[in-house]
Amino acid sequence: MNKILLAGAYALALAMGVADLRDLAAYAAPAVAAAAGPTVKIDNFVFGPEALTVTVGTTVTWINQDDIPHNIVANDKSFKSKVLDTDERFSFTFTKPGEYGYFCGLHPHMTGKVIVKAG
Ligand SMILES: [Cu+2]
């Protein structure tokens, strides 16, 4: 009987430990401001890299490092950012394989693409 209680308590402690670790991760994540996934930097009217290859499930972050506003619009309208001022960011998670061309809605000659491969 005691052994069973002990085992139960141990299992409970383990479960609580796991829960605590999850809590810790949840608290820690928002504090990390840096983009976790790949980034596309916008500078001097250019998306860099112009073509980016990722796997399904990847979150891509665009950062406007130019001193004028830009935005990001998918050719197929699957994503669209607001107008980003200097140092502002936009993130999008790609959940389906494919080739996603995009452009800047303010300067449509600015183009880029994200190639999403199956994971
Ligand atoms: Cu632009």
Q: What spacing in Å lies between the alpha carbon of 7 and ligand 1's midpoint?
A: 62
Q: What spacing in Å lies between the alpha carbon of 94 and ligand 1's midpoint?
A: 22
Per-residue confidence at 77, pLDDT binned at 50, 70, 90? very high
Q: What spacing in Å lies between the alpha carbon of 93 and ligand 1's midpoint?
A: 21
- Quick one: DSSP state of residue 70? B
Average pLDDT score over residue span 5-19:
44
Cβ–Cβ under 8 Å, residues 61 and 89 = yes
Domain boundaries, the chain: 1-32, 39-117
At the top level of CATH, the class of 39-117 is: mainly beta
The neighbouring-strand residues paired with 59 are 93
* Residue appearing with tokens 């950062």: 63
Q: What is the pLDDT of residue 3?
A: 53
Instruction: Tell me the residue type at 57.
Output: G
* pLDDT tens digits along 19-59: 444 444 444 444 445 678 999 999 999 999 999 999 999 99
Q: What spacing in Å lies between the alpha carbon of 60 and ligand 1's midpoint?
A: 18
**Host H or E run for residue 12:** helix 2-31
